[in-house]
């Protein structure tokens, strides 16, 4: 171990960073070795039904408000959101009609 008493603060910081980076590299190798083998071509299980999320006006509003350069009050944005709502209503009606037959 180096003599910390004779090292400058910058040298101590540099040494600490080197140790930290070495520990991180060792940890990564260890984690990779512990990972169970999985099939590389196996697709992930993903729930891709976003209809509930898209149909939630409060969620859409919060997303649109947080997008840079997007004015949620603009006519184009309101039209797009409105068309999504209409499509969802249409899908609901067609699903209800299919179930009653």
SS3 track for 69-98: CCCCCCHHHHHHHHHHHHHHHHHHHHHHHH
Q: How far, CA to CA in Å, does 30 sit from each of 17, 39, 64?
A: 20, 20, 42
At 11-59, the pLDDT tens digits run 999 999 898 888 777 776 666 666 666 556 666 666 666 677 767 777 7
pLDDT at 77: 82
Q: Give the start-to-end residue ranges of the domains of the chain.
A: 65-100
Q: What is the DSSP letter of 7?
A: S
Displacement of CA 13 from its chain's centroid (Å) = 34
């Amino acid at each position: 171990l180096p003599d910390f008493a004779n090292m400058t603060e910058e040298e101590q910081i540099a040494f600490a960073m080197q140790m930290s980076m070495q520990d991180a590299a060792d940890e990564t190798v260890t984690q990779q070795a512990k990972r169970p083998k999985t099939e590389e071509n196996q697709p992930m299980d993903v729930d891709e039904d976003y209809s509930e999320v898209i149909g939630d006006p409060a969620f859409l509003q919060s997303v649109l408000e947080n997008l840079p350069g997007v004015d949620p009050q603009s006519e184009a944005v309101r039209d797009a959101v409105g068309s999504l709502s209409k499509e969802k209503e249409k899908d609901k009606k067609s699903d209800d009609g299919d179930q009653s037959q």
